[in-house]
C-alpha cells in the first residue's frame, strides 16, 4: 500500500490525499474539495472550502418547479461511519418538516474522520450542524467561536442522542481466538485501528485498550505496556473508520478490526456474514454528541431548521431509525423493544478514566504525547 491508496502506513501524522470531504444528497455522492490536501496552505484551503460550501448550498437550494415553500438547505458535517444512519434520518426529518411546516427542505451530508471534519468546519466548510462521535471535536470548533461554549447543555443527555461502544470484529470462526484486549497484543496478531490522531473511532480504540487495564485495577504503566504492544501490531493507519473497514473487509488485511458496535451492521450488509463480533470484558462508551454551528446558522438564517433537525433526533421515530442502525438509544420504549440486539457490556467513560476529553487529548494525542511516544517505541 502507498499514499495513492489513501492509507497512511506507519506514519500517523500524514493525511491521506484521497480522503476528500464529500456531500451525499438524494442518494448520490458529490465530491467536493478536500479540506486536507497537503499541498494547499491554510488560507487556500479556507478560501476553496468556502466556495465549495457555497456551491453545494446553491445546488441544494434548487427546488422543483411550483414548490410553494422552501426552507434553507442544511449541511450536516459528521463522522465517517454515520452516513447510513443520517441518510435514513434525513428522509424522516424532511417528511416531518414538510408535514409540520409545509416547507420542503434539502439536507446535505459530509462524512470523514471526525477530527478532520471538525478542522473542516473551522476552515470554512459552513456546516449548519455537526454530529460527531466525541465531545472533543465539537469543543474544538466551539473554542474557535463558531459554537456556543454551553452547547452540551442545550439538548438532553449532554446533547448526545445515541451512543455506541468499541468492539472487535474478527474473521469467521475467530481463528485467532480473540476474547479480550490482551489477545490483541499477542505477537502475530494483526490489528486494524484507524488513526487516533485524526479519527474518533481510532481514538476510542486507543482509550478503550488503555482504560480496560485501569478499570481492572491495573496501573498506568501496565496500561501503557498493553497499548504499546497492541499498536505495534497495527500495520496501517487509515484516516477514517470506514477506510479501516475497507482495509479489513475488502483488502483482507488484519485479524481483528477495532471499531464501533454500530459499524458492524453496515459491514455485514456490504461484505456478507464473513465475520464474528467479539465483545471485550470491558470497553469504552462512545457517545455521539450534536450541536448547531451558531455563527453559520445566524449568517445563513437557518437556525430554526437546524435546531429542529437536532431536536428531532430524540423523537421516537428517529430513535427507532438509530436502533435499526445498531446505535444505542435513549428512548425507554425503543431501548426495551431492541434490548435483545444490544447485550449488556461493562463500559467506562472517557471522563471516568482520563478526567475529560481535553485531558485525554493533551496527555495522549497532542504532538509529542503518549500516543506518539508509543508509536516511536513500537517502531524500534
Q: Burial letters for 62-97: b for 16+ Cβ neighbours within 10 Å, e otherwise?
A: eeeeeeeeebbbbbbbbbbbbbbbbbebbeebbebb
Same domain (yes/no): 233, 366? yes
Same domain (yes/no): 313, 358? no
pLDDT reading at 378 higher than 80: no
For residue 266, what pLDDT is reported? Answer: 85
Same domain (yes/no): 7, 136? yes
The tally of domains found in the chain comes to 2
In angstroms, rounded to a whole number, what is the distance separating the alpha carbons of residues 92 and 235?
A: 40
In angstroms, rounded to a whole number, what is the distance separating the alpha carbons of residues 133 and 160?
A: 9
Same domain (yes/no): 134, 229? no
Per-chain mean pLDDT for the chain: 85
To the nearest whole percent, how much of the chain has pLDDT over 70? 82
Same domain (yes/no): 28, 149? yes
For residue 99, what pLDDT is reported? Answer: 97
Same domain (yes/no): 111, 202? no
For residue 265, what pLDDT is reported? Answer: 84
In angstroms, rounded to a whole number, what is the distance separating the alpha carbons of residues 15 and 20?
A: 10
Domain of 244, CATH number, reads 3.40.190.10
Same domain (yes/no): 319, 356? no
Spatial contact of 109 and 78, defined as CB atoms under 8 Å apart:
yes
CA triple 309-310-313, angle to 5 deg? 100
- Domain of residue 94 covers 3-162+288-341
Confidence band of 81 (pLDDT split at 50, 70, 90): confident
pLDDT reading at 22 higher than 50: no
For residue 26, what pLDDT is reported? Answer: 32
Strands 22-25 and 107-112: antiparallel
Average pLDDT over residues 117-140: 94
Same domain (yes/no): 191, 335? no
pLDDT tens digits along 42-73:
444 555 555 555 544 444 444 444 445 789 99
For residue 181, what pLDDT is reported? Answer: 98
pLDDT tens digits along 169-184:
999 999 999 999 999 9
pLDDT reading at 111 higher than 80: yes
Same domain (yes/no): 155, 201? no
DSSP 14: S
User: Structure pTM?
Assistant: 0.80
Confidence band of 19 (pLDDT split at 50, 70, 90): very low
Same domain (yes/no): 307, 365? no
Same domain (yes/no): 168, 203? yes
For residue 356, what pLDDT is reported? Answer: 95
Cα dist from 31 to 14, 56, 106, 110, 132, whole Å: 21, 10, 17, 10, 21
Same domain (yes/no): 11, 148? yes
Amino acid at each position: 500500500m502507498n499514499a495513492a491508496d489513501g492509507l497512511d502506513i506507519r506514519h500517523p501524522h500524514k493525511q491521506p490525499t484521497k480522503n476528500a470531504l464529500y456531500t451525499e444528497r438524494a442518494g448520490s455522492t458529490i465530491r467536493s474539495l478536500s479540506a486536507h490536501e497537503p499541498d494547499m496552505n491554510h488560507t487556500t484551503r479556507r478560501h476553496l472550502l468556502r466556495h465549495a460550501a457555497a456551491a453545494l448550498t446553491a445546488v441544494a437550494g434548487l427546488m422543483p418547479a411550483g414548490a410553494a415553500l422552501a426552507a434553507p438547505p442544511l449541511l450536516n458535517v459528521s463522522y465517517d461511519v454515520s452516513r447510513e444512519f443520517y441518510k435514513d434520518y434525513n428522509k424522516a426529518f424532511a417528511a416531518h418538516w414538510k408535514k409540520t411546516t409545509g416547507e420542503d427542505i434539502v439536507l446535505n451530508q459530509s462524512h470523514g474522520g471526525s477530527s478532520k471534519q471538525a478542522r473542516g468546519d473551522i476552515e470554512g466548510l459552513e456546516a449548519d450542524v455537526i454530529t460527531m462521535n466525541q465531545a472533543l471535536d465539537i469543543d474544538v470548533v466551539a473554542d474557535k467561536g463558531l459554537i456556543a461554549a454551553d452547547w452540551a447543555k442545550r439538548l438532553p443527555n449532554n446533547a448526545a442522542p445515541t451512543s455506541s461502544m468499541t468492539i472487535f470484529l474478527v474473521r469467521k470462526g475467530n481463528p485467532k481466538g480473540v476474547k479480550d484486549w490482551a489477545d490483541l497484543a499477542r505477537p502475530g496478531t494483526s490489528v486494524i485501528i484507524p488513526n487516533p490522531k485524526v479519527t474518533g473511532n481510532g481514538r476510542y480504540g486507543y482509550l478503550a485498550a488503555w482504560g480496560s487495564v485501569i478499570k481492572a485495577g491495573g496501573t498506568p504503566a501496565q496500561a501503557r505496556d498493553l497499548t504499546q504492544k497492541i499498536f505495534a501490531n497495527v500495520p496501517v493507519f487509515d484516516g477514517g473508520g470506514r477506510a479501516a473497514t475497507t482495509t479489513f473487509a475488502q483488502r483482507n488485511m488484519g485479524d481483528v478490526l477495532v471499531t464501533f458496535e454500530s459499524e458492524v451492521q453496515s459491514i455485514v450488509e456490504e461484505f456478507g456474514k464473513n465475520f464474528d463480533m467479539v465483545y471485550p470484558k470491558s470497553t469504552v462508551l462512545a457517545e455521539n454528541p450534536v450541536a448547531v454551528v451558531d455563527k453559520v446558522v445566524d449568517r445563513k438564517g437557518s437556525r430554526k431548521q437546524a435546531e429542529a433537525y437536532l431536536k428531532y433526533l430524540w423523537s421516537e421515530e428517529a430513535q427507532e431509525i438509530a436502533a435499526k442502525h445498531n446505535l444505542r438509544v435513549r428512548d425507554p420504549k425503543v431501548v426495551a423493544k431492541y434490548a435483545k440486539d444490544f447485550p449488556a457490556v461493562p463500559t467506562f467513560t472517557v471522563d471516568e478514566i482520563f478526567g475529560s476529553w481535553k485531558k485525554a487529548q493533551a496527555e495522549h494525542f497532542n504532538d509529542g504525547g503518549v500516543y506518539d511516544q508509543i508509536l516511536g517505541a513500537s517502531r524500534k
